[in-house]
A and B are shown apart, each in its own frame.
Chain A
Amino acid sequence: MKKGLFAGVFLGLALLVAPAAAEEPGVIRLGAAVSLTGKYSSNGAFTRKGYDLAVTKINEAGGVTVAGKPYRLEVIYYDDESTPARGAQLVERLIQQDKVQYLLGPYSSGLTEAIAPVTEKYGVPMVEANGAAISLFRKGYRYLFAVLSTTDEYLRGAVDIAARLSDDPAKLRVAMAFENDPFSQDVRDGVLADMKRHGMKVVVDDKLPPELNDMSATLSKVKALRPDLMLISGHDKGASLAIRQFADQRVNVPMLALTHCDSARIAENFGPAAEYALCAAQWASTLTYADDLFGSASDYARLYEETYGEVAPYQAAESSAAVQVYADAFERAKSLDPEDVRNALAETQMMTFYGRIEFDETGKNIAKPTVLFQVQDGQYVVVYPEEFAEAKIRWPTPPWSER
């Protein structure tokens, strides 16, 4: 009974796939398992919108030409329900049943980590745009490429600015509150090395539990110890909670830097309470990067807003860039063999609206720095790196009694 059912489904699929392949020879199919339901559903949706926007744009511009023959791009999506096991299972299905030979990444490091062993096993290249954990690139994966900056880079800019603004960086005292998950702990590891190099002193080093709904214990400590710099990373929830409780508890710190404050929309949601906060981000629409397909970063942001009616988040931008990387690699590989495409990917050297993309031997992008925004008068303004900055950093943050 069960066997018969499987055979039936398989036959059905084969019948569906076979004529389609025969009629439309010029289609390159990419596959992706993204989170459309579950806890990553909003960021999963951004990821998909980013992929779709790039695919549409590339197809409108004539598709990709591989060894003289034009091809259209197409993406097969599955919903991984934000669970790693499901993601791995679906990727197996994409490769085995749907015969997809090139994968786009899922949303989040956790899911990428679950999927990478599968793509590695089948020798299928995966260009991912939303798994930034540095641990992904310490496992010697050959078919994994990431267009974004890795997690350890996220808050290094804040440490760098703090050191530059201070007369004696060795005197700086730092408070840290990082969620106890791989992403945030990677961010922590990234800044620790820099702080040690500058001789900064860590006065608070709290690990926020993932179920945390209140951080007043940490903030009371910060109030007592008066550090010069506070670093926080705990996804959208951590950023929102930190901004809310910094204001409620009137915590005075000259510089506060966080991750995820743009996806948590702190400036929109918290108004004046979010002022002066520094936010690490992969990309900003005000950066001066540009390419031939989308134009400049701000052109991309405009197109995204026209298409989807919302402001372009960096999760969508990097996802679009991943598709561009594939298109570029197909053309340079002059072949659709996954191994040739993989080798072409490894030699990628391109400028995109999202930033420069060049992979090192572990597959991570080493050509693009992370940026820091500061919330200034309700706007996210790029203040770091200085060569791309729109405005100077406002520092130090005045105490609450003067705000």
Chain B
Amino acid sequence: MKETQNNIGAYLKLHWKTAVFLVVLLIGIGLADNFVDSYVRRLLNLCAIYVIVSLAMNLVNGFTGQFSLGQAGFMAIGAYTVAVFTVPIESRAAIFYLEPMAPFLANIQLPFIVALILGGLASVVAAFFIGSPCLRLRGDYLAIATLGFSEIIRIVFTNTQSITNGALGIKSIPTISSLWWTYGTALLIIIATVLLINSTYGRAFKSIREDEIAAEAMGVGLFKTKMTSFLIGAFFTGIGGGLFAALLGTVDPKQFYFTLTYNFLLIIVLGGMGSISGTIIASFVVTLGQEALRFLDEPMAFGLDLPIFRPGLRMVVFSFLLMVIVLFYRKGLMGTNELTWDFMAQKYQSIKKKLGGKKTSNEGGGN
């Protein structure tokens, strides 16, 4: 017992900066939860959800080097699981007016957290089925297969009237507006991802990204490892989807067009495809940025009629941004580096040096 206490003490001493940061962060979340208005609250919640899904995507695409485009599909599964199981039983008949809800589901109502985890698990099952044929193959088939899977899920959900209410979608989902749900989950997932990446499994993932053939020669089972990464990614994405449903209060198939996946792709490319901290930063940048640039979609934004501003310009700007990054700043913000205390200290030193260097050369020239 004493040994564990010593270990924890030593651990805290080593990581005191991170511990302080976490405490400050938690206080910040608590304050925000009590004082921000509903618009900002919704935005912050969305940021957290995007962090979760982007991180999951980065785990598979950035760390394991497997190009999956199925996020929208896995999110849809998680979202609909929460929707179907948390809508109050009394409301269901009204929502499912076109065709009554399937009897085996109609009377089951689960607490939010149970439905959330169930959604994650359902995504895992789907990921297992899509991954089994595709992860065995070398080549780019995973991208098309996951994209296709994402579309199939949407098509299926649009047609299974009695389970998902088809194109009408499901509304009156009990909403969660507290920041603790999304940020708490996001923190847990971030911590889990960090611990995973810094373990032998994380190294196995990265080895596959670096050189599959060498990895296999060193004893890393390719299919098993890729599948592990893929399933974990699907689990986190499903949970993100469940939170998404609870945030918005409604789900419908049109929310889960594959174009949703492109948002996450932009985030992980912007942040750096092998960086956890990069993804987190980029999630906030993109989510808030898309909100901030909303004025591009409105012709009357500045009180003048600017016809160049109309719906669609915002997304043109963002897709242009993606092209610029992939063509000129391939590594994104962080590349494969992490925003550790050492990293920031190094950057600070090098910036100081650069500024100091400039000053002395000016002085030298002046003489």
Tell me, yes or no, whether A binds B. no
Task: Show the binding face of B for A, using Cβ within 8 Å.
Answer: none
